[in-house]
Structure 1
Amino acid sequence: MIYPERFSNLADYAFPRLRALLDVHEPGGEPLALTIGEPQHAFPSWVGDVLADNIAGFAKYPPNDGEPDLLAAISAWIDRRYGVVVGPDRIMALNGTREGLYNAAMALCPETKNGKRPVILTPNPFYQVYMIASISVGAETIFVPATADNGFLPDYASMPADVLDRTAIAYICSPSNPQGAVASRDYWRELIALAEKHDFRIFADECYSEIYRDEAPVGALEVAAEMGADPERITIFHSLSKRSNLPGLRSGFVAGGTESIRLIRQLRAYSGAPLPLPIQRVSTRVWSDEEHVIENRALYNAKYKMAEEVLGNLPGYHTPEGGFFLWLPVEDGEAAALKLWRETGVRVLPGGYLSRDVNDKNPGKGFIRVAMVAPMEEMRRGLTLIRECLYD
């Protein structure tokens, strides 16, 4: 049998790699998983009631793009959150942001750019779907370091002009996964100006936008509107997974220019799976409610205050501006994760599993990612064990 070469050198995904590393060893204490970014706070109590009231909707095929009420609720949320009017024709409901981040590249990346193979820029470390989307469309993936030296956000302007002229799409995550860095208004302005100059699209992954410490992160569409940029330049992706503690709902949205969304909708009509009607009805209600989001954010911020008490005096420790991960410096992330598991039972993710080697350097190798999702006392126990095992 013949198989595609483009996927032949893929490493295992991060979590199968982690299982292969750890599961051949016994844990050194009561297991505590701080690996996956799966929220464990309670979702709104009324979600089950809305789902039950609309259970008959599972007997119908759902609309491809999202029900009018859902698209209107998302449009209203964008207006409240960012002060930008985005009509329902510029929005599509998603089965979580991963679907959108992948399929938007399939729908919008050209076969050539200025007569040459297109480039897709991605931060390094990165959410792995960016890379696989680039491979799938036949683009050249260029991994741009996002390290402490540049505020954990990629410096795309440092790319050579000939690379930027071939660039079709630049992925950017704010707040970033895994480091929790927030793109400032100036960062967005500079990136949008660069995209206008070199004629590429920005895919803004903003699924952690509602989990922040002090100030709400500025949004890509917000800055683009202030600049009067081409609406087709920016495509944003949001989710209820983190904002509302509903990762299993698989509900999010993509918004952008009218033509971009038309093409993404068209591809979905052929190849995708729209959200079931009961889930669309729940999503409509959830996007319309902010009270639970405020409560959720307060719970995370209490955990970060506790983390500062436990880890704040460690060299290199910093509280991230947003998101719910700690990005902790170690000598070797894989060795640290293995030592921690064997001696304490605490399970974390090596930073190198979220990065790619470029010129024999992996910007995630010297880190571990810790998901701050467990209940408060479990987090306190886990962070204390991390400190005692890896740092004291």
Structure 2
Amino acid sequence: MVSERPHPSTGRLDRLQPYPFQRLRSLLADATPPVGRGAIPLSIGEPRHPAPAMVGEALRVSLDESLGRYPATTGTAALRETIAAWLQWRFSLPSGRPDPAHEVLPAAGTREALFAVTQAFVEPGNRPAVFMPNPFYQIYEGAALLAGGEPVLLDTRAENDFEPDLGAITDAQWARCGLIYLCSPGNPNGRVLSHAFWERLFAIQQRHGFVIAADECYSELYREDAEPPLGLLAACQAAGRTAFEDCLVFHSLSKRSNVPGLRSGFIAGDARLIERFSRYRTYQGCALPEHVQSASIAAWGDEHHVRDNRRAYDRKFALARRILQPVAGYHDPQAGFYIWLPVPGGDDEGFCRGLYQASGVTVLPGRYLSRPSREGDPGAGYVRLALVAEEAICEDALERIGNFIQTYA
């Protein structure tokens, strides 16, 4: 008789929750869209606009030469200098700040860097709490759990203008905080955090000491006629925190330049944290191939394609205002490519399933991006729409959603 081999304990892995799109597949598994109507996915935030030609060209030109070399964890000086110059231009930072040699670190997109930051800086035996907005990008929660930390949720609700409620956290809770994730512009609500918010947070940070990790991957998808969103480094500069003390920003080319497959981004901020993070990443083994770095230099060095990108999103958000606002009023996002749409009756899962069966359009239930709190689930009663497809497809999908809302209501 062969005894069953015991499974090794997975511990922290068992605490991970299913990813939102896995839950969506389960919700729609036995649902059938109408015959003769093509399916339109608005559930996943994967950019569909054309990638800039110069990025592909730079990739091809440098590919053969770079394949025979291991890339350095810190990237090439040329890439770091290009990133630093872009940050200075974009956020009106003084010359030489950030310092490309000590305050900039390339990353394989924001996802891997946002995950890795907790592994590097959260100490479960000392300051285990990892704060994050609720709803949130699920990587924040998974990173906290796998680092042995404790996720602490800051609800973002309409009545609070979708800003995390810092006042809801006690001094005792702040004292246990090792790191706080913030997303500005926000996913899913498109909210840009204000100077006043950052000043309040800086005052708390000075009392308690923790790392601020600002996910700014949607920062370039603002409305073309609006002010560019404020970033954490600019907020630091305005507050006199010229060394970006205990602050890190995370940026990506995926949304800005429509190249999610390139897997390229960066971390910038406090030189002391960058040095420690670089040491961690040397062991982690995550370095950008040199041909990816060459393509990234081309992307960060060009703003024409970024302006074209914004104008394309502007047209789609104008369509959404015309079609959806009259039947389901929503907060127009300041930036990003999502609409955080309130659902008639508040049943986001039922709405999502009914919409798919009636029209073939998939959206993401808001509760799949959030967790219940004492005040209720801040994601329940919303669905997230990603306006990433080409304009005609988005218009078709928005019309279908608008017609369904009138029937559903």
> Aligning the two structures, in what range does the TM-score lie when normalised by the shorter sequence?
over 0.9
Deviation at 1:285, TM superposition (A): 1.1
Q: CA–CA distance in 2 between the matches of 1:87 and 1:23?
A: 51
2:309 aligned to 296, 310, 328, which one?
A: 296
Greater shift, 339-348 or 308-317, is seen at: 308-317
One-letter amino acid of the counterpart of residue 311, structure 2: A
Choose from 258, 265, 269 the match for 2:282.
269
TM-score, normalised relative to structure 1: 0.96
**1:364 matched residue in structure 2:** 379
Q: In the aligned structure 2, how far is the partner of 1:234 from the partner of 1:245?
A: 27
1:1-392 to structure 2, matched below 5 A, reads 1-28=7-34, 29-56=37-64, 57-84=66-93, 85-88=97-100, 89-113=102-126, 117-213=127-223, 214-229=226-241, 231-330=244-343, 331-359=346-374, 361-392=376-407
Secondary structure at the aligned position of 1:11 is classed as coil
Percentage of pairs with the same residue:
39
| Cα distance in 1, alignment partners of residues 300 and 175 from structure 2 | 38
Cα offset for 1:247? 0.6
SS in 2 for 1:320: coil
Tell me how large the CA RMSD over aligned residues is: 1.4
The count of aligned residue pairs is 389
Which whole-Å CA distance do the structure 2 matches of 1:360 and 1:83 have between them? 39
Alpha-carbon deviations, 1:122-160, whole Å to 9, x = none?
A: 100000111111112222211111110111121123201
C-alpha distance in structure 2 between counterparts of 1:72 and 1:9, whole Å: 40
Cα distance, 1:361 vs. partner? 2.2
Alignment gaps of 5+ in structure 2 = 1-6
Query: Alpha-carbon deviations, 1:187-209, whole Å to 9, x = none?
Result: 12211222122211111000000
Q: What is the CA distance between 1:313 and its match in structure 2?
A: 1.6
**Contact 1:37–1:371 (Cα < 8 Å) also in 2:** yes
Structure 1 residue runs without a partner (length 5+):
none
Residue by residue over 1:266-315, the C-alpha shift from the partner in whole angstroms, topping out at 9 and shown as x without a partner, is 11111132111111000011111111111101110111111111112234
The superposition leaves residues 151-202 of structure 1 with CA deviations (integer Å, 9 ceiling, x where unpaired) of 1121123201100111111111000000101111111221122212221111
CA distance in 1, matches of 2:215, 2:81: 21
Kept in 1, the 8 Å contact 2:246–2:273? The answer is no
Equivalent residues of 1:196, 1:233 under 8 A apart: no
CA distance in 1, matches of 2:113, 2:56: 26
- Tell me which amino acid in the other structure corresponds to 1:224: C
| Higher deviation after alignment, 367-376 or 7-16 | 7-16
CA separation in 1, counterparts of 2:167 and 2:90?
28
Contact 2:54 2:299 in 1 (8 A): no
Please say which of residues 71-80 and 312-321 is displaced more in the overlay.
312-321
SS for the counterpart of 1:368 is strand
Question: C-alpha distance in 2, partners of 1:390/1:359?
Answer: 30
Name the aligned partner's letter for residue 142 of structure 1: V
SS of the aligned residue for 1:323 comes to coil
What secondary structure, in the 3-state scheme, does the structure 1 residue paired with 2:250 have? strand
TM-score, normalised by the number of residues in structure 2: 0.92
3-state SS in 2 of match to 1:292: helix
Q: Distance in 2 between matches of 1:14 and 1:123?
A: 16
